[in-house]
């Protein structure tokens, strides 16, 4: 069902945990649907210096969170905002069709975290980050 | 591998396979053929029918072989609903039925029938009074499962069948999880229709039967040849039917010993998990329960992650999480007993057989302790819980 890469990131997730000195936190999903992703970042000079995540969800949810954090770690905010769910899926050598929403959630978790970064500085994140929705809608949509 | 998913399917014994082998190899004649090479298989099928009937208190003429448990359910429900449509179009079932039953009723609703879905209490039990109160003059069929496949709850079938009888309503029970695991006698239960599937009691996959009480009439589901006394078409699966008869015979002969063993394993598992792991609960009744069924919800974690982690250490079990059901919602059974979504997502079903050992149970518990902790350590819900507690 899952690729070796997915199983690797599920059994040995990268960047799992909390970040003491986080200056941005984002959380998407809900317990009702069965997955929640929470991302912590420490951003300095527009660069994601450190990143951690916590995820409640299925194997794909854990693996996509892990991969998404790997893909943006050390990158600039601009680069991180360019991360697509497709890139996460490709990096994991694919996901079963019913699990694609997990990759969307991972992308949204990164965005939501960056939105929080701007909000904390009194900057409206919407023009920069785009949909900083709490993703209930996108999530419900992807589950259809 | 430690296999504790016996409610999903079971391992066939060598004895069962041996009994089937002739009909998968040399004795391939069609039982409907006139020559003796075919007629020999007719005799074999009728022999199996007699064996099976005797094991559940039925008459041989009341046993109709089907292609699986799902077919038996479909036939019973569509067959009874359609046969009695002149009398009425109201049907009664429960909210915790297997999809092989629920989806039939949902289809019948689309075809103009009205269905009452009886709720269950927090233990997963249907109330006899609720069934009684749901009956209308239009009611033609009541279908309540004997034992639930997820939480193992055993329903008061005899009482419900009695009420159906008093009201002249056909009563069906899906006994797929019950037959071969707990005593089942159709005469004693007083049911009209009862569905069975062989692969749940160490028989082969792809064969089952429907018990149809003499005098109970169904419209046909499978049209074609004249097999099964003109009521269910299809060249008989001789090997499957023989294997099912052998398996049921073995299961019934060993019923008491197997029930005791499964019960002990399940209790050891439940006690072990509940005492060694915090924030978990047993789903379903502790007493009105299939001997081998344990279903436990672990808070703050999700079931598929749990199953994958168990699989990585060679343990095969099951879950009611949405991610394993292939739909948006977690198991309808767990929601029906009142579990919040988040907790329903974190369920684990271990279904034991006589083949399991107490060492295996201990090993599963040992692994679960580690896995649950690992998953909680990466769960934002657990983090919120710990912070809230501080
Ligand atoms: C309660 C119940 N009913 C029906 C079925 C369907 O049986 P089968 O797999 O033989 O179609 C199952 C098994 O999955 C079951 O557990």
pLDDT one digit per residue (tens) for chain A, 144 residues: 899 999 999 999 999 999 999 999 999 998 888 899 999 999 999 999 999 999 999 999 999 999 999 999 999 999 999 999 999 999 999 999 989 999 999 999 999 999 999 999 999 998 888 765 554 444 444 433
Min Cα–Cα distance to chain B from A138, Å:
14
Write the DSSP string, chain A.
---HHHHHHHHS-TTBS--TT-SEEEEEEETTTTEEEEEEEEEETTEEEEEEEEEES-HHHHHHHHHHHHHHTT-BHHHHHT--HHHHHHHTT---GGGHHHHHHHHHHHHHHHHHHHHHTT---HHHH-----SHHHHHHHH-
Name the B residues in 315-354 with CB < 8 Å from any A CB: 321-323, 326, 328, 330, 340-342, 345
Record: contact B381-A56, CB cut-off 8 A: yes
Q: What was the pLDDT predicted at B329?
A: 77
Q: What was the pLDDT predicted at A139?
A: 45
List of domains in chain B: 15-253 (3.40.640.10), 255-389 (3.90.1150.10)
CB-closest option in A2, A56, A98 to B380:
A56
Q: What was the pLDDT predicted at A131?
A: 62
In a domain, A49, yes or no: yes
Nearest to A68 by CA among A50, A44, A89, A49: A89
Q: Is B181 in the pocket of ligand 1 (CB under 6 A)?
A: no
Predicted confidence (pLDDT) per residue in B195-222, tens digit: 999 999 999 999 999 999 999 999 999 9
**B298–A contact, CB cutoff 8 A:** no
Predicted confidence (pLDDT) per residue in A15-36, tens digit: 999 999 999 999 999 888 889 9
Q: What was the pLDDT predicted at A140?
A: 44
SS3 B5: strand
Domain, as residue range, for A62 = 4-138
Q: What was the pLDDT predicted at B320?
A: 79
| Ranges of chain B whose pLDDT falls below 50 | none
Q: Is B70 in the pocket of ligand 1 (CB under 6 A)?
A: yes
Q: What was the pLDDT predicted at B351?
A: 97
Q: Is B290 in the pocket of ligand 1 (CB under 6 A)?
A: no
Average pLDDT value for chain B: 96
**A113–B contact, CB cutoff 8 A:** no
Name the residue with tokens 């892990």: A66
Instruction: Give the total number of structural domains in chain A.
Output: 1
Q: What was the pLDDT predicted at B326?
A: 60
Contacts of A2 in chain B (CB under 8 A): 308
Q: How far is CA B42 from CA B35, B196, B209, in A?
A: 11, 21, 17
CA dist B282 and B27 (Å) reads 49
Q: Is B353 in the pocket of ligand 1 (CB under 6 A)?
A: no
**A32–B contact, CB cutoff 8 A:** yes
Name the B residues in 26-85 with CB < 8 Å from any A CB: none
Nearest to B4 by CA among B268, B266, B254: B266
Q: Ligand 1 centre from B198 Cα, in Å?
A: 10
Count of pairs with CB atoms under 8 A, one residue in A, one in B: 74
Query: Could you tell me the CATH number of the domain that includes residue A76?
Result: 3.90.1010.10
SS3 B112: coil
Record: contact A61-B312, CB cut-off 8 A: no
Nearest to B179 by CA among B126, B255, B123: B255
Apex CA B347: angle with CA B339 and CA A58, to 5°? 115
CA dist B5 and B351 (Å) reads 5
Please name the residue whose Cα sits nearest to atom 9 of ligand 1: B69
In a domain, A143, yes or no: no
Q: How far is CA B292 from CA B53, B236, B287, B363, in A?
A: 25, 32, 12, 17
**Which runs of E-coded beta strand occur in B144-224?**
170-174, 193-197, 208-212
Q: Ligand 1 centre from B16 Cα, in Å?
A: 20
Q: What was the pLDDT predicted at A141?
A: 40
CA dist B156 and B142 (Å) reads 13
Min Cα–Cα distance to chain B from A22, Å:
15
Min Cα–Cα distance to chain A from B303, Å:
7
Q: What was the pLDDT predicted at A130?
A: 79
Could you tell which of B6, B147, B149 is best to mutate to test the pocket of ligand 1, judged by most ligand atoms within 8 Å of the CB? Answer: B149
SS3 B158: helix
Name the A residues in 49-108 with CB < 8 Å from any B CB: 53-62, 98-99
Q: What was the pLDDT predicted at A133?
A: 52
In a domain, A144, yes or no: no
Contacts of B380 in chain A (CB under 8 A): 27, 36-38, 54-56
Predicted confidence (pLDDT) per residue in B63-115, tens digit: 999 999 999 999 999 999 999 999 999 999 999 999 999 999 999 999 999 99
In a domain, A76, yes or no: yes
In terms of pTM, does the model score above 0.90? Answer: yes
């Amino acid at each position: 069902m899952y690729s070796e890469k997915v199983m690797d990131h599920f059994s040995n997730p990268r960047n799992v945990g909390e970040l003491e000195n986080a200056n941005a936190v984002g959380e998407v999903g809900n317990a009702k649907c069965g997955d929640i992703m929470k991302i912590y970042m420490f951003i300095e000079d527009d660069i994601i210096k450190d990143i951690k995540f916590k995820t409640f969800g299925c194997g794909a949810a854990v693996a996509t969170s892990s991969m998404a954090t790997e893909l943006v770690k050390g990158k600039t905010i601009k680069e991180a905002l360019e991360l697509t769910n497709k890139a996460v899926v490709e990096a994991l050598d694919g996901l079963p069709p019913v699990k694609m929403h997990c990759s969307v959630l991972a992308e949204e978790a990164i965005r939501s975290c960056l939105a929080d970064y701007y909000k904390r500085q009194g900057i409206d994140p919407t023009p920069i980050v785009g949909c900083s929705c709490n993703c209930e809608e996108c999530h419900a949509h992807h589950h259809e | 591998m430690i296999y504790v998913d016996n409610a999903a399917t079971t391992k066939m014994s060598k004895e069962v396979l041996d009994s089937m082998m002739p009909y998968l190899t040399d004795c391939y004649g069609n039982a409907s053929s006139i020559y003796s090479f075919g007629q020999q298989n007719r005799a074999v099928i009728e022999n199996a029918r007699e064996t099976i009937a005797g094991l559940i208190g039925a008459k041989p003429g009341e046993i109709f072989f089907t292609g699986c448990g799902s077919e038996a359910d479909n036939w019973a429900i569509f067959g009874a609903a359609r046969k009695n449509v002149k009398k009425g179009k109201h049907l009664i079932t429960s909210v915790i039925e297997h999809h092989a039953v629920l989806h039939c009723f949902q289809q019948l609703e689309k075809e103009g029938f009205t269905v009452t879905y009886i709720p269950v209490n927090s233990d997963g039990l249907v109330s006899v009074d609720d069934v009684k109160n749901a009956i209308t003059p239009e009611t033609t069929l009541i279908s309540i499962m004997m034992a639930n496949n997820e939480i193992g709850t055993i329903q008061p079938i005899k009482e419900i069948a009695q009420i159906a009888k008093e009201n002249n309503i056909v009563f069906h029970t899906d006994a797929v999880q019950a037959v071969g695991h707990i005593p089942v006698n159709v005469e004693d239960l007083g049911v009209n229709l009862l569905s069975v599937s062989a692969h749940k009691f160490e028989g082969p996959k792809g064969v089952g039967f429907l018990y149809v009480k003499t005098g109970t009439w169904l419209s046909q589901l499978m049209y074609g040849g004249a097999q099964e006394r003109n009521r269910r078409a299809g060249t008989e699966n001789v090997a499957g039917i023989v294997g099912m008869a052998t398996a049921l015979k073995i299961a019934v002969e060993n019923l008491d010993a197997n029930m005791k063993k499964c019960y002990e394993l399940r209790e050891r598992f439940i006690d072990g998990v509940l005492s060694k792991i915090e924030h978990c609960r047993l789903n379903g009744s502790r007493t009105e329960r299939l001997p081998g069924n344990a279903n436990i919800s672990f808070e703050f974690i999700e079931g598929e992650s749990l199953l994958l982690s168990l699989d990585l250490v060679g343990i095969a079990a099951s879950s009611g999480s949405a991610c394993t059901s292939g739909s948006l919602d977690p198991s309808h059974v767990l929601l029906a007993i009142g579990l919040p979504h988040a907790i329903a997502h974190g369920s684990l079903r271990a279904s034991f057989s006589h083949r399991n050992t107490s060492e295996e149970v201990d090993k599963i518990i040992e692994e679960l302790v580690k896995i649950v902790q690992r998953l909680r350590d990466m769960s934002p819900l657990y983090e919120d819980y710990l912070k809230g507690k501080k």
